[in-house]
Amino acid sequence: MHKCGRCGGSLRRIHRSFAEHFGYMAIYRCSQCKEKQAVPRPWTYHFGPAARCPICGTQRITKLKTRDRIDPMYRGFLSLVERLTNGQLYHCRFCRVQFYDRRNIVLAEEARTAREATESAPSAPTSV
Ligand SMILES: [Zn+2]
Ligand SMILES: [Zn+2]
């Protein structure tokens, strides 16, 4: 039997809402202090610190403002979860697929990509 992390009371498993059903293995509520405790599903790609492509797992993805008309939408039920939890729209250029993720792109990765772009660009020669 699970115990409450706050008061040590016994936890009762409660019904999950539609969105919670996808996001959590189970949700418990303490019979004493009514503290709600959720057990998240162990999805590696979906519980890391940064947004990733759901197919190849790359973090080198681009943020989209609007849905692309050409590339298909990734339609896993995980994508539905991300959309329900106000996920941001992303695009993977390797898989050519769009998907939702509630996390942001890793900032270090973004900075590195930006630096690469500036370094590869030829500096304009100053003509005298
Ligand atoms: Zn409790
Ligand atoms: Zn990909």
Question: If you measure from the C-alpha of residue 16 to the centroid of ligand 1, how many angstroms do you get, rounded to a whole number?
Answer: 19
Question: If you measure from the C-alpha of residue 53 to the centroid of ligand 2, how many angstroms do you get, rounded to a whole number?
Answer: 5
Quick one: 67 and 31 in the same domain? no
Whether 6 is in a domain gets the answer no
User: Which residues is 100 bridged to in the sheet?
Assistant: 89
- β pairing state of 24-30 and 11-14: antiparallel
SS3 30: strand
Which residues span the domain enclosing 67? 62-120
Whether 4 is in a domain gets the answer no
Q: pTM for the full model?
A: 0.45
Alpha-carbon span 46 to 101, nearest angstrom: 8
Question: If you measure from the C-alpha of residue 63 to the centroid of ligand 2, how many angstroms do you get, rounded to a whole number?
Answer: 13
Whether 48 is in a domain gets the answer no
Tell me: the pLDDT tens digits for 53-107?
Answer: 888 888 889 999 988 888 888 877 666 777 777 788 999 999 899 988 888 876 5
Q: Is 52 left (phi over 0), alpha (psi -120 to 50) or beta?
A: beta
pLDDT category at 25 given cuts 50, 70, 90 is confident
Question: If you measure from the C-alpha of residue 90 to the centroid of ligand 2, how many angstroms do you get, rounded to a whole number?
Answer: 10
Whether 5 is in a domain gets the answer no
Whether 128 is in a domain gets the answer no
Q: How many domains does the chain have?
A: 2
Mean pLDDT of all residues in 1-14: 86
Whether 85 is in a domain gets the answer yes
Quick one: 25 and 67 in the same domain? no
Whether 78 is in a domain gets the answer yes
Question: If you measure from the C-alpha of residue 38 to the centroid of ligand 2, how many angstroms do you get, rounded to a whole number?
Answer: 30
Quick one: 35 and 81 in the same domain? no
Question: If you measure from the C-alpha of residue 18 to the centroid of ligand 1, how many angstroms do you get, rounded to a whole number?
Answer: 25
Quick one: 68 and 114 in the same domain? yes
Quick one: 31 and 66 in the same domain? no
**Average pLDDT over the chain, rounded to an integer:** 77
Alpha-carbon span 31 to 11, nearest angstrom: 6
Whether 127 is in a domain gets the answer no
Question: If you measure from the C-alpha of residue 3 to the centroid of ligand 1, how many angstroms do you get, rounded to a whole number?
Answer: 8
89 — phi, psi (to 5°)?
Answer: -85, 130
